[in-house]
Structure 1
Amino acid sequence: MFRLDELVARLGGEVSGDAGVAVHRVATLDQAGEGDLAFVANRKYLPKLRESAASAVIVAPDAKALLNGRSAIVVADPYLYFARVAQLFNPLPVVRPGVHALAALASSVPSSAEIGPGASIEEDVEIGEGVVVGAGCHIGRGARIGRGTRLAARVTIQHGCVVGENCILHSGVVVGSDGFGFAREKDGRWVKIPQIGRVVVGNEVEIGANTTIDRGALDDTVIGDGCKLDNQIQIAHNVRIGENTAIAGCVGIAGSTTIGARCMIGGQAGIIGHLTICDDVVVSAGTLVSKSITRPGVYTASLPVQPHADWVRNFSHLRHLDALAGRVRSLENQ
């Protein structure tokens, strides 16, 4: 439980109304009740502010006139402030140091680490202070895990890979699986190319459930500091991703692609191999990136949803686009 003035003292902002109002959780405008702190991050939700039962709200300065006496915290970015308050109300579980009796360890771990049941840690592994290794995790030989990192149940860190400090890896993550590397015989048979690089994950990285990051074929696959990866992403061998880039679910990134810093990749986007995407690029959901992007900005290559009959009609025109262009050129020449 925090009073509004206590939150402002910790996180900044300005109190409007009663600074002594106490709140114990964050909630949406629709669901908030007594003791809840709601937020308005989008102006289209301002009409709901009047009906909300929240004890207080987080709003931008331009919404202050609509408060009608309601207590509030006024900040430039309500959504960012909400995130910080939510962290304050919902801290990560306290680490419970110790090694479960059902864990199998071939390397020593610090006394501050928590090793869950069924976890297996091979030889020459380095585990930092305060690391959590969840139930059923596997850490291969020679891997390194930085201090404060948390592995949920059934995370796999393959041999030689590096995960930095204060990372969060959710269940089913695989770091360091073999990249998809094969040469082809003349008769069509495939010859496997050993994948001898590593995966190097920076600090403060979060990786969602069932995301896979392949080890490099020769050089390393690298995930920069502060990256946030959603669930079920495939990152192929030798990909390099710059710091603070965020990637939504079901994205596929083919091998040897370099993505810059502070990029945002929308869900189900696909990026083919051997491309370069510069810093500060936004790729819209469902977009196929088939060539390098050299200038910051928003890039989209997907069609908005439409009724099926409209799509069929429009596509029928698209099939004849080349012939239409030829007729236009002919008319222009005339």
Structure 2
Amino acid sequence: MAIRLGQLIEQLGGSLHGDPDFLVQKISPLETATPSSLAFLSNPLYRSQLATTQAGCVIVSPEMQSSVPAGSACIVSSNPYLYFAKVTQFWRQQQVAADRDALVHPSAVVHPQAVVHPTARIGPLCVVEAGARVGAHSWLKSRVTVGEQCQVGERCILHSGVVIGADGFGFAPHADGWVKIEQLGAVRIGNDVEIGANTSIDRGALADTVIEDGVKLDNQIQIGHNCHIGAHTAMAGCVGVAGSAKIGKHCTFGGAAMILGHLTIADNVHISSGSLVSRSISEPGQYTGFYPLAKNADWEKTAAIVRNLGTMREKLRQLEKITKNKE
């Protein structure tokens, strides 16, 4: 596949310095680019790679334009990284447009009562169960399961192994064991959501689990039943969210962060990797928290001490002042 530079400018804007009929045959990093490649530079730390790149065209900021090697075209953008992201989207759209023969793979199982938009792509070995809906231009990669009555919005991407609508973890204790609580809700996923490989989103017990527009989930994430994830929140790999947690908009969660159930997290909260969120958060900001594993009683004592360290420090300072004055 090849795309003219002029076609990119027509679609995405930017200022082209070079031949609009130049054909881009691949998108490459600066250090491995060839004369038929399009590359980009967004971080000035990699300016040395720009000086030696073989790329036929480079996306750069106005400040970096003068550093583009002689003979290479450039696209000047105020935000080269964002422009690069849009180029990758346009490139993928052209690839998909060239391969429209099988929007639903022959090996996929789509229930007659499911509703799949004519522009959606259903990959190999996918299962779309009764009453499920898949919106326009969404793409289910291989082995994705969308459970009964669950909804996937428009322009969503679900990567291999994603499971939407498995039963939530609900059991009532009984003297003889556990009694299953039937999960009667579903999962509702908004538009422009991307879900990484082998991520699971459980259906609600009674009300639905909700993933709002623009949410981005990495690989191997667990979202428990009845959770509500606000628009444009992003989670890195192996995050776990226990049931009935309500997470705000524009939040971020580093890898392996854990959120306990029934908590409420405000908009614009950012959780560091490996942190355990054990209480609700009402104010935006960056949060980090973890303790070494210990017996619960010891851990609670340690947590109480850490929580009061600020007060203890002030008291120590006051005692030091008193001691010095007595001297």
TM-score normalized by the length of structure 2? 0.83
Give the deviation of 1:32 after TM superposition.
Answer: 0.5
- 1:289-326: CA deviations, max 9, x gaps? 222222233333369xxxxxxxxxxxxxxx8x959966
Aligned counterparts of 2:6 and 2:110: Cα–Cα separation in 1: 47
C-alpha distance 51-188 of structure 1, shift in aligned 2 (>3 A): farther
Q: 1:9-158 to 2 correspondence within 5 Å?
A: 9-16=10-17, 21-67=22-68, 69=70, 70-91=72-93, 92-93=95-96, 94-97=99-102, 114-117=104-107, 119-158=108-147
Aligned residue identity for 2:240: G
Structure 1: segments with no counterpart, 5+ residues: 98-112, 304-318
> Which one-letter code corresponds to 2:215 in the other structure?
C
* 8 Å CA contact 2:138, 2:157 repeated in 1: yes
Provide the rounded CA distance (Å) in 1 between the counterparts of 2:185 and 2:65.
55
Mean Cα deviation higher: 274-283 or 78-87: 274-283
Give the match's secondary structure for 2:226: coil
Q: Does 1:223 align with 2:224?
A: no
> Which amino acid in 2 is paired with 1:168?
I
- Shift in Å at residue 258 of structure 1? 1.3
Q: Residues 113-171 of structure 1, C-alpha deviation per residue, up to 9 Å, x if partnerless?
A: 52421x33335222222232222222222222223222222211111111112222122
Task: Report the 3-state secondary structure (helix = DSSP H, G, I; strand = E; otherwise coil) of the residue aligned with 2:31.
Answer: coil
Shift of 1:177: 0.6
The 1:120/1:10 distance shift into structure 2, 3 A limit, reads closer
Pair 1:124–1:18, CA change in 2 (3 A): closer
The amino acid across from 2:282 in the alignment is T
- Distance of 2:119 and 2:201 partners within structure 1: 24
Work out the number of aligned pairs and report it: 302
Percent of aligned positions with the same letter in both sequences? 46
Change (3 A) 1:330 1:301: closer
Is the CA contact 1:34–1:55 (under 8 Å) kept in the aligned structure 2?
yes
Opposite residue 288 of structure 1, the aligned amino acid is L
Q: What RMSD, in angstroms, separates the aligned Cα atoms of the two structures?
A: 2.7
Deviation at 1:282, TM superposition (A): 2.4
AA partner of residue 96 (structure 1) = D
1:195 aligns with 2:187: no
The answer on whether the counterparts of 1:26 and 1:82 sit within 8 Å (CA) in structure 2 is no
Shift of 1:64: 2.2
CA apart distance, 1:283: 2.1
Greater share of residues in helix? 2
Cα distance in 1, alignment partners of residues 24 and 109 from structure 2: 43
**Letter of the 1:228 counterpart:** K
**Alignment partner of 1:283 out of 271, 274, 277:** 271
Q: Is contact 1:57-1:72 (8 Å) kept?
A: yes
Classify the secondary structure of the residue corresponding to 1:50: helix
Preserved CA contact (<8 Å) 1:57 1:71? yes
- Note if 1:332 corresponds to 2:309: no
- Secondary structure of the 1:79 match is helix
Paired residues of 2:205 and 2:226 also in contact (CA < 8 A) = yes
Task: Answer yes or no: is the 8 Å Cα contact 2:52–2:69 preserved in 1.
Answer: no
Rounded to whole Å, the distance in 1 between the matches of 2:317 and 2:87 is 64
2:183 partner amino acid: Q
1:178 to 163, 167, 183: 167
* Partner of residue 255, structure 1: 243
State the partner residue of 2:296.
Answer: none
- Contact 1:114 1:130 (8 Å CA) reproduced: no
Shift of 1:214: 0.3
Deviation, 1:183, is 2.0
CA shift at 1:285, angstroms? 2.0
SS in 1 for 2:66: helix
Q: Which residue does the alignment assign to 1:245?
A: 233
* Matched position secondary structure for 1:30: helix
1:215 is displaced (CA, Å) by 0.5
